[in-house]
Structure 1
Amino acid sequence: MAIHVLGLVSIIVFYLLILLVGLWAGRKTKQGDKGKEADNMMIAGRNIGMFVGTFTITATLIGGGAINGTAESIVTTGLIWCQAPFGYATGLCLAGYFFVGKMRSQGYVTMLDPFTYKYGERMGGLLFIPALMGEVFWTGAILSALGATLSVILELDAKISIIVSACIAVFYTFFGGLYSVAYTDIVQLGCVFVGLWLVVPFAMTHEAVGDITVNATSNWVKTLDPAYAGVYIDNYLFIAFGGIPWHSLFQRVLASTTARNAEIATVLSGVCCFIFLGPSFLIGIVASVTDWNQTRYAEVGEVPIPAKDLKLILPLVLEYLTPKAVAFVGLGAVSAAVMSSADSTTLSASTMFARNVYKLVFRPQASESEIIWVMRISIIGVGTLSAIMGIVVDSIYMLWFLCSDLVYVVLFPQLLCAIYLRWTNTYGSLSGYIVGIFFRLAAGEVALGIPVLIKYPFFSETNGQMFPFRTFAMLLSLNTIMFMSYATNYLFHHRIISRRFDIFETKKRESIHKIKQMEMSPLRQTFEEEREHLS
């Protein structure tokens, strides 16, 4: 197998650029306030402005999974079923309007903090599990996307590509924390914009590409069978609402200079994702109307392209429908997208573990230095786990799709209750957690080899669950949280059950939460933000 030296050199130069920017930005972490080194790594001293915030949130969403997965989805199931980009954009706008301001104004450090303060440290640690799984699935998807792209264009082994990319992202995140991640995101997002939009005109004008307006419905728009309406609605809802409770989003929100800036940056990033994913849509459309027999691909591959190779559709377009130089630029764009998301998700999971599991559950007396080193060790661990996931993944789009699943069913109702329903308690949270996981897993999951335990209405032996089972499981979880919280509050308040049997100490936990809210009230936060601004 011959490796393209010029392309390899260009990728090495690009990686060195990102590494240097990351290490340069990481110096800001050391220049922050003494005694707050951990906060500087986790939330950049709350110094992320609206401009940087918008682009670092957008860069987290626009990963290799989004870029490759969007093109793959249009070729396989059509534009009508390419729901993830629209769903995540909707989720960002909803998050900006309903959740971001409340989270930032309370001065939390991680997304799990409201759970920890309201439901207890151990419940916060339990909720870390689905959050970690989501981050690892996401990172595995984007690393898999990069490995696939490099293997097609440079003929470089995909496993080596994944491992090297993960190591680079882990290296500068290890030293710089959120500062490094945020500033490299700007560079990477610029590369994505220039690189992919440069590819589009070359791909569209290739002689093998047909007219995209001819037979568009059958070629790339496709149709929606009414029998799949439940599946379609379920998918969109779980992508949109499941895209909200992600710490990789809230880490940037909580690092913003003000709550208002955080809200604006989140909504703007939802709009920006369409600008940056536009080329992926067009590349998928181009691939669907290409006569691959007229390309060099026919000499080395099977036509029509086998279903198992459709996850490689974007790199195939780069390789066979554009000049080599343009393909290398596009490759740099994919690499940039991967790095911008991989470092974000790795830091996100590590931050939650260091603060909400290690410090609050096991070592409340841990020093700043100790927390930082726990974070750094966690960064290596999460990066390694994600690289392994990226190597064994089958479908980029499927893994990108699945990463919101448990987050939607388990974390979204928990976040909704923690922020808006003050009377909910640990009993409700734990019950909703168990119910949500049980009913989601009972529906089965072919991609993960989980058998079907409950056959919901309209179940098909051929097509599987046709009922919106994810939304059903989420609503069951939400209602369980509310019912159990109300029931236990009533029983303890009216002394039907003695307070000595209140193992979760709901009264004490409620008092602690009220005190914490007073300490971090929006009025106080606004005053402190204005004072810092004036100084």
Structure 2
Amino acid sequence: MALNIPALVSIVFFYIITLAIGVWAARRTKRIQTNGNHTEVAIVGGRSINLFVGLFTMTATWVGGGFINGSAEITYLPGGGLVWLQVPLGYAIGLVLGALFFVTPMRSKKYLTMMDPLQESYGNTMASLLFIPALIGDTFWFAAILSSLASAVTIIMDIQNYLSIIASACIVITYTLFGGLYSVAYTDVIQLLFMIFGLCLCLPFAMMNPTSLSIVSTATQEVFQTPWLGRLDLQYIGVWIDSILYISLGSIPWQIYFQRILSASTTSQAKITSLLSSITCMTLAVPSVLVGAVAASTDWNQTSYGLPTPYERGEAGMILPIVFHYLCPSYVSVAGLGAVAAAVMSSADSCLLSSSSMFGYNIYKKIIRKQASEKEVMVVMRISTVILGSLGASFAFLSNSVYDLWFMCGELVYALVFPQLFCVLFIRKTNTYGSAAAFFLGLVLRVLGGVESLRLPPVIHYPWCTLIDGNYVQLFPFKTFTMLVTLFILVVVSYTTDILFKNSYLPIHWDICHITKANDIIQETKTEVELLQVRNTENCHLHGAEM
């Protein structure tokens, strides 16, 4: 297959537009930084992102390359189907829960990152440990979405995948490097528009291709493969529930989410942005679902792709670009490539900014070098952006399945970080001892439960653990069980240690985490606040009496 020149021109044009907008936003960032806090402007845009841009950047962050490719892949897979497409629904639920419960407590104290309340409650050591799963998640997510672009470019343009990975990574790193959240947010607007245009343009051509049957007829009837609606057997109910819970709750404790709600002008705007994004995420999954349904309804022997089918060749992960290339005219498939590229860019930059923000502010500024200046923190953030971007791009070469990497991203965060964040926001008196015990026990339980994507078999066989095709499969909702055990241990150990030290059952000098000192400081602060409130009340009465 010869090089597709129109596709090459279009992708280069898209890259230029994206870079130009990123540079423009970076210049705006510099103008704002001259009048304010450099770190705050870079991380949360000076808390001045309007509703329109906020909605676009929130939606574009979730609806990335992994989202549109993975949704088409799961719908198409003979063993999957629409019933197993849980990510769009899970994201929507997570965004709603975030708006209802997490926005207000996070914004009330004007935090800059998700790690701030964790660091404030559990100290620097635990904050560093909790940063690790978040960093791993961002890195693998970055790798997954770059690999999704590489698959599209390979199919449509006949270019080696490493070239597209390197080019995309360089563009994303460049504008994220200098513009911070402003560059990411404003490029997200154009990227989301490109993606919607490309998907909507290609979809009608794919659905009307004569080699494809009506997706209505193949939804419940087996023609070329199993129906694309899929089937949920009773024995897999536990797996389905486990997955939807960890996608919903596990999508909340990510810096990319809190970065956007903390950047909104007001708390009400942040809530509205999150709620509207839940609707747009579900809506933008529809084109990918239809692409997967078309792929399942196509007689591939009548196309130039031929047999065996994409599933039989192990190319189900590339089904979206395959459909665009083989079922759409060449000039239309170019727009499809632009849609994939836009989706990749919109999520990739968010991953880089997320990790570099937490490292520069929470790790470097608050732990490694507390006297670091604003400019020094910015330099560290930029260096970490380059390093993390390069690391993620290198992992993209090892990616075999978009959906596997996508699913694996949230598991450690769900099991280890979500319970900790929940406790610091909603359960008082949890402390560093409980945090440490919960972290290590949760990590052990999660690993011993088995990690299929890393080919780690389960050591702990939960109820209904079954041998399927030579591999043990956990049919029990063990991921949610692990999260709940982590939450339980955190609360129990925290309250137990608090009682033991507070009532002198254990010597105070054994309190290496200084929770008794922290409790004294909190109590003194509360007393000062109460005294201040009493004085204010007295002053009000005096003024009233004088009048």
Tell me which residue corresponds to 2:354: 348
Residues 203 and 425 (structure 1), Cα distance of their counterparts in 2 relative to 1, 3 Å cut: same
Residues 432 and 196 (structure 1), Cα distance of their counterparts in 2 relative to 1, 3 Å cut: same
Residues 366 and 517 (structure 1), Cα distance of their counterparts in 2 relative to 1, 3 Å cut: farther
d(CA) in 2 for partners of 1:515, 1:154: 66
Alignment of 1:292 onto 2:295: no
Which of 275, 280, 283 is residue 272 of structure 1 equivalent to? 280
Paired residues for 1:464-479 under 5 Å: 464-479=473-488
Aligned residues: 518
Residues 8 and 519 (structure 1), Cα distance of their counterparts in 2 relative to 1, 3 Å cut: farther
Q: What is the SS of the residue equivalent to 2:474?
A: coil
Residues 454 and 158 (structure 1), Cα distance of their counterparts in 2 relative to 1, 3 Å cut: same
Tell me which residue corresponds to 1:526: none
Deviation at 1:510, TM superposition (A): 4.0
d(CA) in 2 for partners of 1:372, 1:519: 36
d(CA) in 1 for partners of 2:235, 2:426: 36
Deviation at 1:516, TM superposition (A): 9.2
1:92/1:270 contact within 8 Å kept = yes
Which of 309, 319, 327 is residue 303 of structure 1 equivalent to? 309
d(CA) in 1 for partners of 2:50, 2:263: 9
Q: What is the SS of the residue equivalent to 1:103?
A: helix
d(CA) in 2 for partners of 1:68, 1:279: 11
Residue 49 of structure 1 aligns to which amino acid in structure 2?
A: N
Q: What is the SS of the residue equivalent to 2:467?
A: coil
- Point out where structure 1 has 5 or more consecutive residues left out of the alignment: 521-535
Tell me which residue corresponds to 1:20: 20
Alignment of 1:371 onto 2:377: yes
Deviation at 1:446, TM superposition (A): 2.3
Deviation at 1:450, TM superposition (A): 2.1
Alignment of 1:242 onto 2:253: no
Tell me which residue corresponds to 2:143: 140
- CA-to-aligned-CA distance 1:123-155 (integer Å, 9 cap, x gap): 111110011011111111111100001100001
Tell me which residue corresponds to 1:533: none
TM-score (structure 2 length as normaliser): 0.92
d(CA) in 2 for partners of 1:74, 1:322: 19
d(CA) in 2 for partners of 1:60, 1:147: 19
Q: What is the SS of the residue equivalent to 1:220?
A: coil
Q: What is the SS of the residue equivalent to 2:213?
A: coil
Residues 115 and 318 (structure 1), Cα distance of their counterparts in 2 relative to 1, 3 Å cut: same
Larger radius of gyration: 2
Alignment of 1:403 onto 2:409: yes
1:59/1:189 contact within 8 Å kept = yes
Alignment of 1:204 onto 2:207: yes
- Point out where structure 2 has 5 or more consecutive residues left out of the alignment: 221-225, 530-547
Tell me which residue corresponds to 1:107: 110
Deviation at 1:382, TM superposition (A): 1.0
d(CA) in 2 for partners of 1:313, 1:278: 15
d(CA) in 2 for partners of 1:518, 1:269: 41
Alignment of 1:79 onto 2:79: no
Residues 272 and 519 (structure 1), Cα distance of their counterparts in 2 relative to 1, 3 Å cut: farther
Paired residues for 1:170-181 under 5 Å: 170-181=173-184
TM-score (structure 1 length as normaliser): 0.94
Residues 514 and 268 (structure 1), Cα distance of their counterparts in 2 relative to 1, 3 Å cut: farther
Paired residues for 1:212-227 under 5 Å: 212-217=215-220, 218-227=226-235
- CA-to-aligned-CA distance 1:110-134 (integer Å, 9 cap, x gap): 0000000111112111110011011
Residue 50 of structure 2 aligns to which amino acid in structure 1?
A: G
d(CA) in 1 for partners of 2:245, 2:520: 35
d(CA) in 1 for partners of 2:250, 2:399: 21
Deviation at 1:507, TM superposition (A): 2.9
Residue 40 of structure 1 aligns to which amino acid in structure 2?
A: V
1:111/1:246 contact within 8 Å kept = yes
Deviation at 1:2, TM superposition (A): 2.2
Residues 31 and 515 (structure 1), Cα distance of their counterparts in 2 relative to 1, 3 Å cut: farther
Tell me which residue corresponds to 2:543: none
Residues 161 and 241 (structure 1), Cα distance of their counterparts in 2 relative to 1, 3 Å cut: same
Alignment of 1:493 onto 2:502: yes
What is the aligned-residue RMSD (CA, Å)?
1.7
